[in-house]
Each structure stands twice: as C-alpha cells, then as structure tokens.
Amino acid sequence: MTTVIIGAGIIGTSTAYYLSQLVTEGSKIVLVESSPELFASASGYAAGFLAREWHWQATASLGRLSFDLHKELAKENNGQENWGYSPSTATSLAETIGGDGDEDWLGEGASRAKAAKRIAENDDTRPVWLAPHHGRPDIIDKGDGTALVDPYQLCHFLLSKCRKRGVKLYQPAQATRVTRDSSGALSSIHIVHEESPGSLQDHDIPCNRLVLAAGAWTAQVFSTLFPSSKLKIPVSSLAGHSLLLRSPHWPPPSLNIDVDPSSDLQQKQLPPCHALFTSDPIGQYAPELFTRLPSGHIYIAGLNWQYPLPKLATERVIDPEAIRTLKETSERLLGKGEFEVERESLCFRPVTGKGTPIVGPVGKEEEGVWVAAGHGPWGISLSLGTGKCVAEMVEGKETSADLGRLGL
C-alpha cells in the first residue's frame, strides 16, 4: 500500500509525519514537491503564529487539537531550540478587534485579532521593542493559548523525521497523471523528476491513496491529474509580503538564552515573545508583528494583495511598493533607525471563499483522493492537527477533531 502526498509544505509534511506513525509494515509514503526550493512559499515564510481558541466554529475543534499537538511536539523534541517554539503574549493596538467579524477577515484586510473571543485586562506586559509613544497595548492572551514558531525550521524538522522513517521525497518533481486499475482503484501516478539540473526522468510510482496538499497550487494539481472531472477545488491564492527585522531592543541585551534544554518550556526564564496586531491608517492595512526566540528576529506582515500565482513558488516577484509600505510601518512602530531588515519575502497563502480550509475526501467523484488545503492565515497553527486527521482518514480511523464542516 503506497500513499502519495502532493506537496511537501507544512501540511504535506505534517500528514506524512503522522501517517508514518500509523501505517503497517510494508506500506510506503511518498512526498512529491514541485518547487526546486523547499518551503519556498507560505510554509517557510509565514509568521508562525499559533492560537488555540481564536478559530471559528468550523475549525474550533481542529484548532484546539493542533495547538495541543504543537505544544506536545515542542516539549518532546526541544522545540524552543530546534524551531523557536515559544509561548507568546498576544496584544493589540487596533481600534476594533472584537469577535463578531466575518470568518474571512483576511480577505477583508482586517486584523487577525478580530478572531479573538475576549480581551484580558491591561497589565505591565509591553513589547520592549515598541516605540515609547505608542503606549501600552491591550492584552488578548497572556501566552496560555498563543505561541510562536519559526515555520521554516519546523518544516525541516518534520521532513527530517519523515525521511528517517522511510518517507521518500521526489523534489523537484511534477505529477502529471494518475492510473486506475480495472476495478477503478488508484494504482499509480506518473511524475517528471529533475534528478539533477537539466536531467528530467519519468517515473510511474505505485499509488493506492492520494493526498493533495499543494497549498495555493492544489486546484491546479487536481485539474492536471483529473482533467475530465467536473469537480473544481475551490482553493485560490492571496499573496502576502513580509519583512524579517532585527532590533537592538530584541531580545533584551541582558538576556541569556543558553538555558537548560531539558527543562519545561514554560519554566524557562525567557522574556515573553509578543504577537502585536494593529492598524496602519496611512498604509490602510492591518500590520502584524511577531518576535522570535532564540533567533532574535521580529517578523512583520499583514499587507495582502492579489497577484497572479506563479507556476513555481521560486518564481515569485517581490513588489517594491509593498516592501516600502512595510518599512514605513516598521519605522512608525519600532522607531526610525531602530531596526535592520534581514529579509524581504513574498508568499502565496491558499485561501477559500468561505475562509475555512478543505480537509477531507474528494468522494465518489474521485475515490481514494483526499484534499488538505485552503488554510489561509492559519496554515501553521492548524498544520499538525490537519496532518494527524488526514493520516487518520487515509487509514480509515476516526479523526481526532471534528471536521464535519470542512469537506468539499
């Protein structure tokens, strides 16, 4: 029995990770990734914000499961050091952050904090890197239900574990067609694999079960593999620019991050990481800033525009106007001359019209095929829970979260 997963981003690698814990001896798992650079879109360039209770009803169960899995994985594998897992104080400087907004706040250009259910009272917790004239933000969560990770490092950790368990990766490779046997069951998938620069090799890989987790490219992959199908996968893309900054005020100069990795993450004497949600009346968007440890980076994003989806993630073209806007916002929030830009990025988030992901089987239209895509801004937060549930579905087991409203 061979399961092929198209897409080796955070959702695909999470699925392979949990599936590798469930499959019987002799079963095989194959990842197929089209990009010549791993984690070159949202999986590697997202903020890495995790929330347990910020999700709407359709994803509430999945959100809780996934947050708990992130915490568990970090505790068992020194996530603080390996992928920057850290509880995070979530704060807001936005004028409106209530919980009565549309599920598709991303498409509206609003703040993620709109999803928060309640606001805690103010206290003395304040980002040390925030320019003094901004005052003290409102506290949304003190770190019990919010956390941060470096998604690029988390993806590499998951993929490394998968490969140690025998998961095969073809990258870069394009899946071009599937074959069914006389009974109609999936039997193989054809891929074109660039084994070395300029050297393309055709492979027919056994494929009894197929998971489509290609992010913003999922709809295109489905149409390529099933050209006669009347079904359309309702996943599109929303481009988001970001900056990775360094500030002399973060982490605090006195911080000693050489802590005992065997101690509980919650007990380490680290300053709180922050997630700051605000508004920018000049840029007319909702900036989001996140601090990371132990790397000491500050990540800023929130500027989401419509751009054509490139064929490959590596063919992205960064918009200088978007970068200029993010830099101006950074100056207003951190202070002019108070930061350095280490990276300018653009990624393509997979989104749906409903604002909720698609996690489930394609159904009778194409038996043996599952879709896991469209997570929008919550891809990293929902990744582990999605991977676990998809693995359970593929194995015919009851899912650990309620996915009743996430099907096609």
pLDDT digits (tens, 9 = 90+) for 46-71: 999 999 999 999 999 999 999 999 99
- d(Cα 166, Cα 73) in Å, to the nearest integer? 20
Residue 315 confidence (pLDDT): 96
Q: What is the mean pLDDT of residues 260-282?
A: 68
How does residue 111 score in pLDDT terms, banded at 50, 70 and 90?
low
Q: State the pTM of this model.
A: 0.90
The confidence band for 118, taking pLDDT boundaries of 50, 70 and 90, is very low
Look-up: residue for tokens 């990258």? 171
Give the confidence band of 158 by pLDDT, cuts at 50, 70, 90: very high
Supply the pLDDT for residue 160.
98
pLDDT at 255: 45
pLDDT > 90? residue 125: no
Q: How far apart are CA 111 and CA 277, in angstroms?
A: 7
Task: Tell me what percent of the residues of the chain surpass a pLDDT of 70.
Answer: 87
**What pLDDT score was predicted for residue 100?**
46
Compute the mean pLDDT over every residue in the chain, rounded to the nearest whole number: 89
Query: Does residue 257 carry a pLDDT above 80?
Result: no
In the structure, what pLDDT confidence band is assigned to residue 282 with cuts at 50, 70 and 90?
confident
Q: What is the mean pLDDT of residues 26-46?
A: 96
pLDDT at 247 exceeding the cut of 60: yes
Average pLDDT over residues 31-39: 97
Binned at pLDDT 50, 70 and 90, residue 94 comes out as low
Picking from 271, 289, 292, 293, the residue whose alpha carbon sits closest to that of residue 331 is 289
Mention every residue, 6+ apart, whose C-beta is less than 8 A from residue 107: 238, 351, 355
Please, which pLDDT band fits residue 122 given cuts at 50, 70 and 90? very low
CB of 69 closer than 8 Å to CB of 389: no
The phi, psi pair for 149, rounded to 5°, reads -140, 165
CB-count burial class (<10 Å; 0-12, 13-18, 19+) for 284? exposed
Nearest Cα to Cα of residue 158 among 81, 275, 101, 79: 79
Report residue 106's pLDDT band, with 50, 70 and 90 as the boundaries: low
Q: What is the pLDDT of residue 112?
A: 60
Q: Which two tokens stand for residue 106?
A: 């991303």
**In sequence order, what are the beta bridge partners of 372?**
359
- 219-236 mean pLDDT: 96
Cβ distance 231 to 286 under 8 Å? no
